[in-house]
Structure 1
């Protein structure tokens, strides 16, 4: 199975609604979803993503991709092209989520590997990723892509900060 990253479009509306429902049922946040859980419609979310690409007063510019396997959405990943103070502590340059029913198949590792060239192409020399100290799956995804633990910070929850060098 090949995993591909694609730019979200209205063609994925039904799959995005299913993804969102799956996260709601699991009572989990959609990390990297850029507000997908909160919007009233997928069309509104796509408009929001266009603003996000340019950046706003509240958000650094970034890109959002859907992860597809056999044309089915298995996850979502977000590449932030800069960092603000909040993202330096929690969030970093990249946030991602794999659908709860699609986990433990290596999709997170593949998603991260595929987004790193986009970061490098946009001039980033290294990227910061963060995860909860209890999130063993995310720690494995990050370290399997060259992430090196920088430190652990205590925000609202203990958070590990990893750097991946791109050069």
Structure 2
């Protein structure tokens, strides 16, 4: 499956697909995990200005991230978005982790999340990370399987007291690189 996907930096070439991604995710009542605040933007140009926009939103809690689009090579279609955040802020260390990702609802259950994460891990290692933290809600069986299939070892479960999601338990996993 990894050979069927490419992780690419967002460019104008994918602008309409990125905005369609947002629409499909929101229509499905999904959170846009790993999408660098796509839910807060009205245009690709606004979204792509990650640093300025997210620094304003998060202030001192801002952590730079690298955002990648998971593109299916066969038809150049955006199927997922993944981001790599570092260093870990106190919030990310507790709740969010180094990596966030999501898959287009119409493209789920095809192995893309597993492949996307597997493609990102060597990039994390190349950038000096020895291990990365990923989290998921306890009710998110698909994400848990994705993390474990890429070497994730659960450290613990914590109560989600952020008010961001109804799921009250977050599972925290480390992947050694």
Kindly state the Cα deviation for residue 51 of structure 1 after the two structures are TM-superposed: 7.1
1:106: Cα distance to partner?
0.3
Larger proportion of helix: 2
Q: Does 1:13 align with 2:15?
A: yes
**Secondary structure in structure 1 of the residue aligned to 2:171:** strand
Partner in structure 2 of residue 3 of structure 1:
5
Q: 2:166 aligned with 1:161, yes or no?
A: no
Indicate the residue corresponding to 2:148 in structure 1.
143
Q: Distance in 1 between matches of 2:81 and 2:157?
A: 25
Residue 133 of structure 1 corresponds to 138
Q: Name the counterpart of 1:64.
A: 67
How many residues matched?
A: 165
For 1:108, what is the secondary structure of its paired residue? helix
1:58 Cα deviation from its structure 2 partner: 2.9
Aligned to 2:99: 94
In 1, Cα distance between equivalents of 2:160 and 2:48: 30
SS in 1 for 2:96: coil
Structure 2, gaps ≥5 residues long = 162-167
Distance 1:31 1:23 in 2: 10
Equivalent position of 1:112 in the other structure? 117
Instruction: Measure the CA separation in 1 of the matches of 2:132 and 2:27.
Output: 31
Q: Do the aligned partners of residues 49 and 5 (structure 1) sit closer, same or farther apart at CA in structure 2, a change above 3 Å counting? A: farther
Aligned mates of 1:84, 1:106 — CA distance in 2 = 30
Give the SS at the match of 1:27.
coil
CA distance in 1, matches of 2:24, 2:97: 25
Does the residue aligned with 2:7 lie in a helix, a strand or coil? Answer: strand
Provide the rounded CA distance (Å) in 2 between the counterparts of 1:49 and 1:115.
Answer: 20
Any idea what SS the aligned residue of 1:30 has? Answer: coil
Q: Distance in 2 between matches of 1:56 and 1:123?
A: 25
Q: Partner of 1:103 in structure 2?
A: 108
For 1:111 and 1:49, how far apart are their aligned partners in 2? 23
